[in-house]
Amino acid sequence: MIGRSCVPALGILTVISVSGCAIGPNTSYVGNFGPPGDAGAVATAMAEFVSMNLPRAARGVLVLDPTPANQARNTLTPMFDAALRRYGFTIGDGSRPLAGTTHRVRYLVTPLDNGALARLSIDGTTEGAQFLVRNSGGVSSREVRSQ
């Protein structure tokens, strides 16, 4: 029998599993955000993670893996693009062949009742996950795990 303390973890694992099955290997995913400020806070936290893992000398151009067609108008992607530009990144559109200084970023973001889970991959090698907790002021207070 599963104890009550395991139920939230099972819920998160189920969401991760389901969202991972709905997209391809070179595709990003963004769930529907509730409060408008949540997407901005998540985008800024994700851009901070990318900037911490790509030093200025190694930055080059970033290409964001696209979201599926039904998510093309999500609120997070343009905010993530703008946040990355504020950190000094150049964003490419992926229409040209990837050069040695081009980095591919994949992001999977799932809003949850008490926050948002953001998972990122840079070039398929650097990976991290951030859980941003929703408090009375919106999404904040993140827990970061990198591999």
Tens digits of residue pLDDT in 49-87:
999 998 776 677 899 999 898 988 899 999 999 999 999
Say yes or no to pLDDT of 20 above 60. no
pLDDT band at 39 (very low <50, low <70, confident <90, very high): confident
> What's the rounded Cα separation, in Å, for the pair 82 and 91?
9
pTM of the predicted protein model: 0.75
DSSP 3-state percent helix, strand, coil across the chain (nearest 5): 35, 30, 30
What does the pLDDT read at residue 111? 85
> What's the rounded Cα separation, in Å, for the pair 142 and 130?
6
The torsion of the CA quartet 12, 48, 128, 71, rounded to 10 degrees, works out to 60
Mean pLDDT of the chain: 78
Task: Name the residue among 111, 52, 43, 53 with its Cα closest to residue 82.
Answer: 43
The torsion of the CA quartet 20, 122, 88, 93, rounded to 10 degrees, works out to -70
Q: Classify residue 42 as left (phi > 0), alpha (psi -120 to 50) or beta.
A: alpha
Residue 64 contacts residue 107 (beta carbons within 8 Å): yes
> What's the rounded Cα separation, in Å, for the pair 86 and 80?
10
* Cα separations in angstroms, 95 against 63, 64, 68, 103: 9, 11, 17, 14
